[in-house]
A and B are shown apart, each in its own frame.
Chain A
Amino acid sequence: MSFGLLLNAIVCFAIVLATSAFAVSLHQSKKKQKEESLPTLNALIIFWSLVGMFFFFAGLRTLAAYGNFPEVETSLYYIGSVPFAFITVSLVYFIIYIILGDNRVSIGVSTVFMIFGAIYLIAIFGFGIIGPYTSEWGSTYEINSNIAVNVYLSGLFIVPTSMIMGLLLLILLQRIPKRLQNKIAFSLVSISLIFDFMLLDNIAPSGSTQMAARIFIFIGVVLGFFSYFTPLSLDRKFGTMEDRLGLSQTELEDFEGEDE
């Protein structure tokens, strides 16, 4: 089989590595977080873990396609559908909790999306899938149910993506420190990027489209990681005026009481 499939699997495992590193780093940063941000941090860890889990099975599935094991491939597609269906739940909790700060409301709204996910899974398992269609760059499936596709597009993607965009707009319109604004914006853009390309990945008509989508997902994960754990050199470059001028509060206090 082709080298493209192997490369596709490598990209999948690179995503798994990056998301795992991200989830572990977020978990390790728990002690540094404020109490108010712990629920959203947990939701974010679950989100990245589910993305990683999905691509773990996607990578295995692509390897199965490379080795020409269609039955194994189909089984792995079904297994991978489970984390995929519930990615939205953690994301919706994350957004609603940030905006409202109410745990009960956030759980309530994310439960609705859990139901959407369950309907999607029931439709997938009930009506089945058609495929695999293996090409040089990837292996795709066709979902044999309009219900599943509609639930998937409307419930699992359009609404959460709109929520991310709304939150992004809300943050960008506020007067908050530039560094914090950049950090939050990059983080949300990366989530949105991953989310949208996962949609494309799952309904990709061809292997090459799937491969391209996965490369963008990898870029999105790396972007998300750097938005939270920015390297020092970049942090200085986009730092505050205080960093750029090299002035500290103590130094500014030295000017107090001086005559003009």
Chain B
Amino acid sequence: MNIDIEFEQKVADFYQSIGISTGPGDIQYRLILLVLAKNGEEKVTRFSEIRDYTDRIADRGSIGSKIKTVFQLEGLAIKVGHGGYSITHKGLLAADFIQATSVYYKKIKSVEQIIERIPS
């Protein structure tokens, strides 16, 4: 599973533009969840690996805080050792939902592009 940061940013911007600022509209949430889901339940995801994707959009502190206050608190990920995280079954469900929001975004954009190509 490839994670395209620019695409995820566009998807998050789209959801924010329709008033959804958390979950699908939160770029930090999207990226953290997708990196965790990429490694799956079996593999431990290092914090540094998450930062490889998030450094361009947020600082280390806010990512750490997001993992603690959202992912760990809601049981989407569990801490494994020092600086390691593993996604839970609940987290995988959330990742599926995030991927579904990308599909919906693509559908909306493709319709928008069709409309734009029709002379008005």
Q: Which of A37, A97, A98, A174 contacts B120 (CB 8 A)?
A: A37
Q: Once the chains are docked, how many angstroms separate the CA of A184 from the CA of B120?
A: 8
Tally A-B pairs: CB < 8 A. Answer: 41
Where chain B touches its partner, the secondary structure class is helix
Q: Is B117 close to A, CB under 8 A?
A: yes
Q: Write out, one digit per residue, whether chain B residues 98-120 have a CB within 8 A of any chain A CB (1) or not (0).
A: 00000000000001011111111
Contact A37 B111 (CB under 8 A): no
- CB neighbours of A164 from chain B (8 A): none
Contact A37 B114 (CB under 8 A): no
Smallest CB gap from B113: residue in A: A101
- CB neighbours of B117 from chain A (8 A): 36-37, 39-40, 97-98, 101
Q: Once the chains are docked, how many angstroms separate the CA of A44 from the CA of B120?
A: 12
- CB neighbours of A40 from chain B (8 A): 117-119
Q: Write out, one digit per residue, whether chain A residues 11-52 have a CB within 8 A of any chain B CB (1) or not (0).
A: 000000000000000100100111011011100100000000
Instruction: State which size class the interface on B falls in.
Output: under 10
- CB neighbours of B115 from chain A (8 A): 176, 180, 184
- CB neighbours of B120 from chain A (8 A): 32-34, 37, 180, 183
Q: Once the chains are docked, how many angstroms separate the CA of A172 from the CA of B115?
A: 12
Q: A26-B119, A183-B120, A184-B118 are in contact. Are A36 and B113 (CB under 8 A)?
A: yes
- CB neighbours of A39 from chain B (8 A): 117
Q: How far is the CB of B106 from chain A (nearest CB, A)?
A: 14
Smallest CB gap from A180: residue in B: B115
Q: Once the chains are docked, how many angstroms separate the CA of A180 from the CA of B119?
A: 11
Q: How far is the CB of B15 from chain A (nearest CB, A)?
A: 16
Q: Once the chains are docked, how many angstroms separate the CA of A44 from the CA of B117?
A: 12
Q: Once the chains are docked, how many angstroms separate the CA of A187 from the CA of B119?
A: 10
Q: Write out, one digit per residue, whether chain B residues 35-75 have a CB within 8 A of any chain A CB (1) or not (0).
A: 00000000000000000000000000000000000000000
Contact B119 A37 (CB under 8 A): yes
Q: Once the chains are docked, how many angstroms separate the CA of A213 from the CA of B59?
A: 69
A34-B116, A98-B118, A184-B118 given; name 8 further pairs at CB < 8 Å. Answer: A34-B120, A37-B117, A37-B120, A40-B117, A40-B118, A101-B114, A176-B111, A176-B115
Give the top 10 A-B pairs by smallest Cβ distance, nearest first: A41-B119, A36-B116, A37-B119, A98-B117, A174-B111, A36-B117, A37-B117, A40-B117, A40-B119, A98-B118
